Amino acid sequence: MTVELLCVGTELLLGNIVNTNAAYLAEGCAALGLSCYHQSVVGDNEERLEEAVKLALKRADIVILSGGLGPTKDDITKEVTARAFGRALHEDAHTKERISGYFRHMKTAGVTENNWKQALVPEGAIVVDNHNGTAPGLIIEGEEKTAILLPGPPNELKPMFEEAIAPYLNKLVPEGIYSRMIKLCGIGESKAETMIADLMERQTNPTIAPYAKTGEVHLRVTAKAKNEEEADRLLEPVTKELYRRFGDMIYTEDEKVSLEDVVAALLTDQKLTLTTAESCTGGKLAGRIVNVAGVSGVYSEGYITYSNDAKSRLLGVSSETLEKYGAVSVQTAKEMAEGAARAAVADAALSVTGIAGPDGGTKEKPVGLVYIGCYLKGHTRVEEFHFTGNREKNRDYAVVRALTLLREELLANRG
C-alpha cells in the first residue's frame, strides 16, 4: 500500500519554517509498512494545491496532508481536498462544541467568528479530535483512495498521528507491522553498521534499519506478522543477537525513553546525587537532565563557568592549572568535576570544557576539542573528544558524550 505526503504552507516554501512534519510522517509511515514514493510541498494557493492533491491521489492509495486547516482565509486544505472527492462541507456539532470548550478552557474573551470555519467538515469524513488545538484532523475515505488531513503545528500533528492515525493506518495494512527500537550510545553510526553488516545483508523478515542521532545510533528492528505473538517470535532472536554484539552500549528498547531518562534512573536506583559544571555547553547538559520529570530528587544545582574567573571562583580550579594547561585541558576538566561535586555536596559530577567553534582553535587545540570529566564517589575519569560539526553540533555531541560517560561509570559502580 502506497502513501504520499503533501505539506501545505507558503512559509515552508519560503524557508521560514523547517518542514519537520515530512520527516516525522515519513518515518511513521515506514514503520507501519507503507511505501512512500513521493513527498511534495505546496503553498497556500488554491489552484496549485488542487493540482497537487489530484496528482497525489492518482499516484498513491493514501494521501496525508499537513497544514492549512486553521481559521484564516488562506487555510484551504480542507476545502480543496473535499472538492477533489466531490464532498460538500457541513457543520459538525461535536467539533463546534469542542472548539467552544477549548476557548473556555483558555479563558479568552470569546471565539472569533472565523474559528467556526474549523467546524466545517466534508460529508462522510471521520473527524479526529485535536486535543492540543482547535482544528480537527479528518479522514476522507473514497472507493479506492483515502485522504488524511492533519493540522500543521508539530505539537498538534504528532500526538494526533500517534493516538489516532497510526492505529487507523495499521488496520489497512494486510499484515501488521511490529517494531522494537534498540538505542545505542557510545558508538558511531559507521562502527555500529559494520558490526551488523552481515545481519543486514541477509535480512528478510525481520529487518534492521539504523538511524543516526546526535551522538547516538538507533536500530529499528521491524517484523511483518499476523499478530503480536508472532511478531515477538520473529523479533526476539534478532534482539538477542544485537544484545550479544553491543552489550552495555544498548541503553533501552523503549522508543520513548531518552538517554537522560536512563541516567536519572541509575542515579535514583543507586541513591546518588549529581551536579554539572559546564563551559562550552553553556547549560545544555543541565537542560537535558532537567527534561526528566522528577529529576530534582537527584539533581538540585549546576554551574555554568564559561570564564576562567568563574571556574576558579565557583569550582576552585587553581590559577596554576589554568595558566599551565589552559581552560581546555584534562587537568581543568578534572578540577571542574571535583570542584562542582565539592561545592554542591554531590556524589557525582560531570564537567565539560572545550572549543565549540567556529573560532578559538589552534593547531595544538583545534575547534571541536572537548574534555569531559566524570567524578563519582572519589574517582574522576576524564575523556578527550574531537568533534567535527559546527558550533551547535559540537555542543550537542558533548552533552550526549557526557551523559554516556556518566552512564558507563554508574553501570560500573553498580557492579
Q: Please give the full DSSP string across 239-287, using - where no structure is assigned.
A: HHHHHHHHGGGEEES-TT--HHHHHHHHHHHTT--EEEEESTTTTHHHH
Give buried/exposed letters for 178-192 (b at 16+ CB in 10 A, else e): bbbbbbbbbbeeeeb
Q: What is the pLDDT of residues 94-110, one digit of tens each?
A: 999 998 888 887 766 66
Number of Cβ within 10 Å of residue 162's Cβ equals: 12
pLDDT recorded at residue 374: 98
Q: 200: Cβ–Cβ under 8 A, 6 or more apart, which residues?
A: 193, 208
107 and 77 Cβ atoms separated by less than 8 Å = no
First to last CA, the chain: 49
For residue 53, CA distances in Å to 16, 47, 134, 148, 205 come to 23, 10, 24, 11, 34
For residue 229, CA distances in Å to 170, 226, 242 come to 16, 8, 20
- Give backbone dihedrals phi and psi of 215, rounded to 5 degrees, phi first: 75, 5
What whole-number distance in Å separates Cα of residue 386 and Cα of residue 188?
13
Number of Cβ within 10 Å of residue 55's Cβ equals: 15
What whole-number distance in Å separates Cα of residue 374 and Cα of residue 402?
8
- Which element (helix H / strand E) includes 5? strand 2-8
DSSP 3-state assignment of 364?
coil
What whole-number distance in Å separates Cα of residue 235 and Cα of residue 374?
36
The DSSP code for 215 is T
Q: How many CA atoms lie within 13 A of 413 on its CB side?
A: 22
For residue 201, CA distances in Å to 121, 151, 196, 244 come to 48, 39, 9, 18
Give the closest residue to 81 by CA, choosing from 124, 113, 130, 116. Answer: 124
What whole-number distance in Å separates Cα of residue 140 and Cα of residue 89?
12
Strand partners, 225: 176
> For the chain, what is the largest distance between any 2 Cα atoms, rounded to a whole number of angstroms?
79
Give the closest residue to 136 by CA, choosing from 182, 89, 184, 95. Answer: 95
pLDDT recorded at residue 179: 87
For β-strands 176-185 and 250-252, DSSP reports them as antiparallel
Q: 335: Cβ–Cβ under 8 A, 6 or more apart, which residues?
A: 311, 315, 316, 317, 318, 321
Q: What share of the chain is helix, strand, coil (3-state, %, to 5)?
A: 45, 25, 30
Give the closest residue to 350 by CA, choosing from 402, 407, 295. Answer: 402
Instruction: Output the pTM of the full model.
Output: 0.75
Give the closest residue to 27 by CA, choosing from 51, 5, 8, 60. Answer: 5
Among left, alpha and beta (phi > 0; psi -120 to 50; other), residue 356 is alpha
Give the closest residue to 24 by CA, choosing from 142, 160, 147. Answer: 160
DSSP 3-state assignment of 105?
helix
- Which element (helix H / strand E) includes 351? strand 348-354
Ranges of residues in the chain with a pLDDT under 70 are 107-110, 174
> What residue type is 156 in one-letter code?
E
